[in-house]
Structure 1
């Protein structure tokens, strides 16, 4: 939220010596995040008020170009008017309007220097400025037109524009909606500087003489209060006063008309969003209700929106006329000729407004405040303030009636031991700090004692602080106002004998191993869309489709917690490829979420004491299973090409090797056999087993999955359940033999359908203890072998731990290994 400091200083007596940096530091100390402090005095050189005397339309160009004669006060007297010719492309001004002109020698924000230059066949002797070019706001759709009577041609524009001011941009957290207003921030500054505050909402609200308009609230949960005030006889041509336009502009809100500007101004000043209806367009009484199936509404941005039954609407006899708390309907908006205005100030359910904003993708300044909660006692004062501003600046007449329906829930009292903030912070604060700080934020404080005789306070929070509902909230306020810097930071000593658990050490070791072999770790979001499972080609009854739904997702179309790591990894891979990176190898070690077959209801646990062991056990039983998985994805070249030779493309074998590396790091033996599971290719998928139990899969992805996800061809992936691997607490040290090896080769001819992994296992089983290692180095098929046959050539390494092995002994071991393969698969020597 952006606010000029001059607006804040209008209501809080900030010391004159306080700089903008000190004010920013004070707000940071109070727990606010200051995004930016921007001074407006970036303009140097001649910046003056000018009057447009004559406009010549240049029509020989593709876009509108105007050559304007501007009186900038160069003449010696009023009768001696001298003008400057200035080229301008904007069309939102007319002859006689007052504008801001930057003359040659001026430098605008961003280092943009102004000089006389020839363009479009004319000499432009200056520049007519927009609010954006002056650094006053974001509006660059047209130049800044000043109200008549505010200044004269030739006057210095800097004081009129208030270029000595500073704009502060704050990030307001969701629990501090009161701070999204001048009223709330001024109160915080008054606390920080220990000075007085003038509450802009502290105005005299006269008693209502009847109703302003008939209003009925059907949904009391969605709307707890609805206030309406009516003004008539408004002069629709009345301009918005300059002070109001300037403040709105610096806050990032575009000036539209007096009636709309007043509602925005009151919202920024008090924190109460408002809406103005054209009364003549409202048919009958108003009803606050949920939308009915099939209803539609055309919002002020001229977009027709299909309403959801969860949407709260304001309706008249014709149907919805406002999407409550978000945006009004175009049929009842205040028009250029509107003279009869119905002002609405209401209190809406924050959760309902938040869902409507995300559902319709329609954030607004009003919804930002309603999502954070507004002061339920503020609506009558806000409506009265808006009515008075329309009467003062638009000659409107305030009608005697005021509608005020609904019963808002007000914050209840909270009892807290008076020294609880001291005990939480570990600081002995001076006597009276707790009561004083709670009083400063608006609490009604009563000092009492507990049943045990300890001193306590009963604090009734103000209406603008609905977030103060328990002792912890009050403690936080005391500590915040005393300053977090006063709380000592002491690092507790780590108890002896504690450290990472075996599973944590294994997880870190696996991550290091994958990084060492060339994979890059990423941590994608664990939220997926139901459409993901369709793209993965999963069957309707696939258990991976059974997910845990998120009630309040970050993105409406990603409302499920993933049961596999592959969706996030493949999305990251596709994003890298789309940005020109062709060789990608990624991995992730994270939890997946698997719902239980029978869901245990989550128990309600009190927060005033530690839960019992039984309650903790019930809470854990209610949680879904969250095993740790490790997954890799890769595409492109696994070995890049260069002067050393051609590159090697990544294949299914690399994905399987990643699984072997993980298993070796975990200290377990991995068995690989042919498998079939989507989203892997049915002929290039390996099932990974440990001790005969499946723990994952690896291989090349199915072509249809690759096409559906927009991935490169031959993309490969591996995923296994790390929690299913047994943890090896004691690993024997490897025995290194000092004796030389004997290297022998063997080529076996057998059916092509026999998996290589099973042949390798048979050789290992037959080779005995002397077989130290074996590697497959050639696969051959040909006519001389016969149809359906292939030759597998292995390099065998034999070594004895206690002596030099003879060739005869190694040959005997080799023949034993070949015999096992022949017995199991009918293999013959080639």
Structure 2
């Protein structure tokens, strides 16, 4: 809602020193969203005057039409030429102009030399097209007036005085507040509503534009029949005859519409738009000569059609509320009128010279059901200023005043005569009341306002308040958003000032904190972030085509997906069964935008249906909490939702520089990310070679952990299969890891044991073992660990070698073993004995032999 400050001052006597910024601050404090204050006419300087075109000479020797005009500007002409001395006053100005929408005798706006137009456009005497131009004939765009309908020269009414100040006449200097009206404050889509908020914020009286003397309804007005009182509970019809078809909207009316963001069209339409902006009640004017019989309000019949004012023929829905006459629909109620009863443009008969146009109008001011109007506007994709107001709630008691205001303006500006008939149909309804404890706003805000302040603020809103400790509040008709005590409390709090609310921290209940699952989740995120991974959360939706790209077998459990009935995207209708599709899509997107070295991770739920899900209850109550049985039935219909963690890598894992050569990410980094996650759970992973899509068969490791005393598969890690990389458009040698966090949490249950710290020195022994090339290093490591016994503190693989020296199909694995005792310094014999035991067990389990033996 655009609110000109000059218009707002008509209803509230704001101090003369108050600027638009000051009013903005007050309204924001009262809870309105004032987005900006536009300074109209900023930088505009005169002389800018009314001129009369005396002569027009067409210059045809140029590529485009050029006109050389002489314009009478009154006494301003000589002053501009003689430096403001007034010498030669009254001399016409010679002006070059390219526009063609004016003629000799028209009154126009003239910017004389010395004037400055918006955009720092300075007007000076200059020679152009072989003539001297002493000024400029202005259009609305050049003056910053907004859309003037044709983007042409402003042609003023003929009765204006030549030489008059055009800046004041066109109200070019003003401030306009742009308010983002929220759905619960539909009353602020009018000057009346904003003025009420302004008056309350400043503590000033309001001149309500809807307080008009309205004649009593009678039986002489235009006949109206309402067959759907629920859709239309109030309808006022007034008739004005004898309108001058040549009457134009006065400048003040056009300017107010333009400042409010609306384009002037014709006098009758401009008046209905003006009253809508002023009071907030949408109106419609019908050409009475085009109405056939009584006006009706009903629901549309199946297959009915209506051509609306935008020239589009629309097929109506049975839920649409329509305005009718004897022929059928003539308007889509509350949204847009029909073309059959449109106010006709003025056309002059070429033979008689007589102006033909609408001379009799019927004014409609009605109150329609907000839900019906909102649905109709969306159904037909036909939002309008009227529907925007109706769907937010319009004051039903303003219909008669809005109709009277429209009649008054038509009589005043169009020379019409108001007929004595007044039609008003009202469906019986009682005012809405709310019972509220007087201290309820105090308890909501956490501070004491007191009964007197609560009553005063509610009365400022427009409520009638009765009672002492328990208040009975009658809600004003223009506030359909007030339904319960909390709504009233909000009104009190916002008018008392949100900035006055105390800042207090909530007191958490004792004895509650994060669950073990939540703590593990956070530790895993911190560990991966510390290892250089960037968290990249994704939506949990996938398309089944991505499972083909991953190369999953037809019987793979990950192909059993849960399909949504109403997916956000038809291309991704299923819930994910693995975290990899979303992460790999993020990696591909970032790689395509130039990020070549990537390490991403995500933790989240996957959805694995078991086939044992039950059918959920058809309905659940809304007036109470579901019972334990109902909650159990809901949970029984859900698929299994384990929490998982996944990482993906591509590009360089270590950057090259003066410190040395870098290296690319490989399968070992993916496995190490799994170990980092397992360490946070206090779990030791066992690695075994595996073939599992989408990983490369020779570079895939299955990850096992002891869960509830049994070795259980908890995930996979390694390099992706080249076919999957190609299908998904990923960088070469992309690696990935995925683990089930819930299983790791179960594997790590039990007392947390702090690491033992010994004050005695460590004994280091290195061992190089030769094994078959297909023997996993993890199996050799586990054998060494088991054979070394309790003295072994740590073991690390530091070299892998294969070559002619050790034979074809063989490889050498070199390990560093660290031995330490908690109570003594180990002897060389003890360390060597533990080393020999480890080698012996490794040889027994894996066939390893000591290198060089």
| TM-score scaled by length of structure 2 | 0.75
Spell out the pairing of 1:322-401 with structure 2 (5 A cutoff).
324-327=333-336, 333-337=342-346, 339=358, 341=361, 343-351=363-371, 353-354=373-374, 363-396=383-416, 398=418
- Post-superposition shift, 1:749? 3.9
Distance in 1 (alpha carbons) for counterparts of 2:341 and 2:572: 36
Query: Shift in Å at residue 191 of structure 1?
Result: 1.6
Q: More displaced, 23-32 or 335-344?
A: 335-344
Q: 1:346 to 1:581 in 2, by over 3 A?
A: farther
Separation in 2, partners of 1:463, 1:395: 34
User: 1:83 matched to which residue of 2?
Assistant: 94
Matches within 5 A, 1:343-742: 343-351=363-371, 353-354=373-374, 363-396=383-416, 398=418, 407=427, 412-429=432-449, 432-447=452-467, 455-492=469-506, 500-521=514-535, 544-547=561-564, 587=601, 597-599=614-616, 601-605=619-623, 658-669=673-684, 691=707, 722=741, 725-726=744-745, 730-735=751-756, 738-742=761-765
Q: Distance in 2 between matches of 1:389 and 1:442?
A: 28
Instruction: Please tell me whether the aligned partners of residues 783 and 838 of structure 2 are also in contact (alpha carbons under 8 angstroms).
Output: no
> For the Cα contact (< 8 Å) 1:446–1:459, is it kept in 2?
yes
Given that 2:439 and 2:451 are in contact with CA atoms closer than 8 Å, whether structure 1 keeps it comes out as no
Matched, 1:801 2:820: yes
Name the counterpart of 2:266. 257
Change (3 A) 1:495 1:91: farther
- Asked if residue 171 in structure 1 is aligned to residue 191 in structure 2, the reply is no
1:536 and 1:705 in contact (8 A); partners too: no
1:191 aligns with 2:200: yes
* Pair 349,801 (structure 1): closer, same or farther in 2 beyond 3 Å: farther
Deviations along 1:81-117, one digit per CA (max 9) or x if unpaired, are 112325x5x6666665555455555444455555567
Deviates more, 1:196-205 or 1:713-722: 713-722
TM-fit CA distance, 1:459? 0.6
- CA root-mean-square deviation: 5.4
Q: Deviations over 1:344-382 (max 9, x none)?
A: 444444455555656666544334323322223333433
1:650-707 deviations in whole A, cap 9, x for unaligned?
67776665555444334445567757679x9999988777636676777889999999
8 Å CA contact retained: 2:543, 2:573 = no
Tell which structure's C-alpha radius of gyration is larger. 2
Bigger mean CA deviation after superposition, 343-352 or 378-387: 343-352
Q: Which runs of 5+ in 1 are unaligned?
A: 449-454
Which aligned pairs between 1:274-353 and structure 2 lie closer than 5 A? 274-276=283-285, 288-289=298-299, 292=302, 324-327=333-336, 333-337=342-346, 339=358, 341=361, 343-351=363-371, 353=373
Query: Distance in 2 between the 1:708 and 1:212 partners?
Result: 72
Task: Tell me how far 1:166 sits from its aligned partner.
Answer: 1.6
8 Å Cα contact 2:334-2:387 kept in structure 1: yes
Deviation, 1:416, is: 1.5
Distance 1:612 1:299, change over 3 A: closer
Paired residues for 1:86-235 under 5 Å: 86=97, 97-103=106-112, 105-109=114-118, 111=120, 113=122, 131=140, 134-137=143-146, 142-143=151-152, 145=154, 147-149=156-158, 151-206=160-215, 207-209=217-219, 212=222, 216-217=226-227, 224-225=233-234, 227=236, 229=238, 231=240, 234-235=243-244
Contact kept in structure 1, 2:777 and 2:813, CA below 8 Å: no
Note closer, same or farther for the CA distance 1:542–1:379 as it changes in structure 2 (3 Å cut): farther
Q: Give the 3 Å change call, closer, same or farther, for CA 160–658 of structure 1 in structure 2.
A: farther
The secondary structure found in structure 1 opposite 2:487 is helix
Does structure 2 conserve the Cα–Cα contact (< 8 Å) formed by 1:549 and 1:561?
Answer: no
Q: How many residues align?
A: 798
- 1:451 corresponds to: none
- 1:693-736 Cα offsets, whole Å, 9 max, x none, are 67677788999999999987887776666556527685333346
Provide the C-alpha distance between the structure 2 equivalents of 1:746 and 1:192, rounded to a whole number of angstroms: 86
- Aligned residue among 777, 782, 794 for 1:772: 794
2:354 alignment counterpart: none
> Which shifted more, 207-216 or 636-645?
636-645
Q: Given the two structures, how large is their TM-score scaled by the length of structure 1?
A: 0.77
- Kindly state the Cα deviation for residue 599 of structure 1 after the two structures are TM-superposed: 3.4
2:391 and 2:521 map into 1 onto residues whose CA distance is 40
Residues 222/703 of structure 1: CA separation in 2 closer, same or farther (3 Å cut): farther
Mapped to 2, the partners of 1:361 and 1:684 lie a distance apart of 56
Measured against aligned partners, the alpha-carbon deviations of 1:387-412 in whole angstroms (never above 9, x if no partner) come to: 44334333455566666567486652
The equivalent residue for 2:351 is none
Q: CA 1:130 to 1:593, structure 2 compared with 1: closer, same or farther past 3 Å? A: farther
Contact 2:615 2:637 in 1 (8 A): no
- In the superposition, relative to structure 1, how do residues 415 and 576 fare at CA in structure 2: closer, same or farther (>3 Å)? same
Give 3-state SS (helix, strand or coil) of 1:83's partner. Answer: strand
Change (3 A) 1:308 1:421: same
Change (3 A) 1:44 1:599: same
